[in-house]
Amino acid sequence: MRYTGETCSVCHAVFTDDDDIVVCPECGTPHHRKCYLENKDCANAARHAEDFVWTPAVARTAQADPAVADTPAETPPAESLPKSAQSDGHHIVFCPQCGAQNAAEEPVCTECGARLYNMQNQPFSPPIQLPDMSARPFYANGTVIAPTDTLDGNTVGDTAEYVRFHADRYIPKFYALEKSGKKLSWNWAAFLFSPFWFFYRKLYAVGGILLALMLVVTGATMTPRYMQANIEFQEAFLQAAEDGKTFLEAVDAATPAYRAVRQLPEAQIQYYSSVPIHLFSALAANYLYKKKTGKDIAALRAQHPKPQEYRFFLFRRGGTSILMAFASFMILMSGEQILFNIFSGFLL
């Protein structure tokens, strides 16, 4: 919603491009911020009980003289508008009628025309402020990375809003890969926590492939002697617990049986086969994450041309998922146990 040319309801001065404007959350009346604070309330507060909704001067004139509605109003360029009047999508409000996302400055829904504020018998939904990194610079080896610079055809600002958590780490890495044209760089988190890191960063396809490989290796190495050694280890631990030993004492009593398991070639294959998976994850994670980020942002921009919708879905698609990381860990543990139970039933 653009307020340039409208009138402040407190001081009755015409808004200019440089004015700091605030909007009443009840009726949508715009004020100079200073006027609103000095008045300590909306200038039309007395009319809130009658469900008053502020409308722009052009709309009020059109209601009085329909011929005016056909006369196009001069629209100032977006870059000349005050920040509070630019619908860049970082401030949105959900329509209580149809659920559409709207810029917080709009008094009515742009989709269905329902009032966004002061709805009778409807819970008030305050505007949501999404993360805004559009003006935040990043740094890489003394180089300043402006938010308007591009990564895979998208702005650094949009990429940072997609990454969100630890964007200050990933933006320099993405920038270095972009400038050098390389595909390999080191990622300690992916090395230590593969394949769970990929689920945490929502790279589900790559994480799923690595998880499946680990389960395949586990199933291929479950020979009768390996499972027998594992059963003996479990029995040693349970027997020590039944004898009244503490947890640490039970672990100590079962240590010889555990060592017997780890010395088997099957256990060595399981351990060393995980090394290539962790190395691949550490070296390829940044590049794969960069490519997915660029692809997702471009797709969202094409699917949602409206700024408020684009920002909302960018926020929802990006970020991290602790739930999926934990779920992948539980899938791995449960999968290994299921394989053990299946093979023990056939081979023992």
SS (H, E, C) 324-348: HHHHHHHHHHHHHHHHHHHHHHHHC
Q: Please say whether the beta carbons of 307 and 154 come within 8 A.
A: no
Closest CA to 320 of 166, 116, 210: 166
The residue among 177 and 50 whose pLDDT is bigger is: 177
For 45-49, 118-122, 325-329, which range has the lowest pLDDT when averaged over its residues? 118-122
The residue among 63 and 174 whose pLDDT is bigger is: 174
The residue among 243 and 88 whose pLDDT is bigger is: 243
User: In terms of C-beta density within 10 A (0-12 exposed, 13-18 middle, 19 or more buried), how is residue 231 classed?
Assistant: middle
Q: How confident is the model over 6-35, as a mean pLDDT?
A: 83
Q: What percent of the chain has pLDDT over 70?
A: 86
The residue among 308 and 171 whose pLDDT is bigger is: 171
Q: How confident is the model over 323-327, as a mean pLDDT?
A: 97
First to last CA, the chain: 73
Q: What percent of the chain has pLDDT over 90?
A: 43
What pLDDT, on a 0 to 100 scale, did the predictor assign at position 89?
77
Residue 150 has pLDDT above 90, yes or no: yes
Q: Please say whether the beta carbons of 230 and 238 come within 8 A.
A: no
For 60-64, 112-116, 257-261, 327-331, which range has the lowest pLDDT when averaged over its residues? 60-64
Peptide bond into 195 cis (omega under 30): yes
Residue 247 has pLDDT above 50, yes or no: yes
Closest CA to 346 of 217, 214, 221, 224: 224
CA distance 286 to 176: 10
For 3-7, 192-196, 267-271, 335-339, which range has the lowest pLDDT when averaged over its residues? 3-7
Residue 103 has pLDDT above 80, yes or no: no
Q: How confident is the model over 78-106, as a mean pLDDT?
A: 65
Every domain of the chain and the residues it spans: 21-129, 138-347
Ranked by mean pLDDT, the top range of 68-77, 167-176, 263-272 is 167-176
Sole residue written with tokens 């890191």:
197
Q: For the segment 31-89, what is each residue's pLDDT rounded down to a tens digit?
A: 888 888 888 888 888 888 777 777 776 444 444 444 444 444 443 443 333 344 455 77
Residue 265 has pLDDT above 90, yes or no: yes
Give, as one character, the DSSP assignment of residue 107.
S
For 189-198, 223-232, 323-332, which range has the lowest pLDDT when averaged over its residues? 223-232
Residue partners of 52: CB distance under 8 A and separation at least 6? 27, 44, 118
Q: How confident is the model over 99-112, as a mean pLDDT?
A: 78
Q: Please say whether the beta carbons of 325 and 197 come within 8 A.
A: yes
For 15-19, 115-119, 136-140, 342-346, which range has the lowest pLDDT when averaged over its residues? 115-119
What pLDDT, on a 0 to 100 scale, did the predictor assign at position 22?
81
What pLDDT, on a 0 to 100 scale, did the predictor assign at position 165?
93
How high is the mean pLDDT of the chain? 84
108 falls in which pLDDT band (50, 70, 90)?
confident
What pLDDT, on a 0 to 100 scale, did the predictor assign at position 277?
95
The residue among 17 and 222 whose pLDDT is bigger is: 222
**Long-range contact set of residues 114-122: C-beta below 8 Å, sequence gap at least 24:** 115/53, 116/28, 117/24, 117/25, 117/26, 117/27, 117/28, 117/53, 118/26, 118/27, 118/48, 118/51, 118/52, 118/53, 120/51, 122/96
Q: Please say whether the beta carbons of 107 and 55 come within 8 A.
A: yes
For 22-31, 143-152, 161-170, 231-240, which range has the lowest pLDDT when averaged over its residues? 22-31
Tokens representing residue 114 in the block: 């329902």
CA distance 88 to 175: 24
Tokens representing residue 80 in the block: 């000349």
- Model-level pTM greater than 0.85? no
CA distance 21 to 82: 8
Q: For the segment 123-140, what is each residue's pLDDT rounded down to a tens digit?
A: 556 677 788 887 889 998
* Number of neighbours of residue 89 by Cβ within 10 angstroms: 24
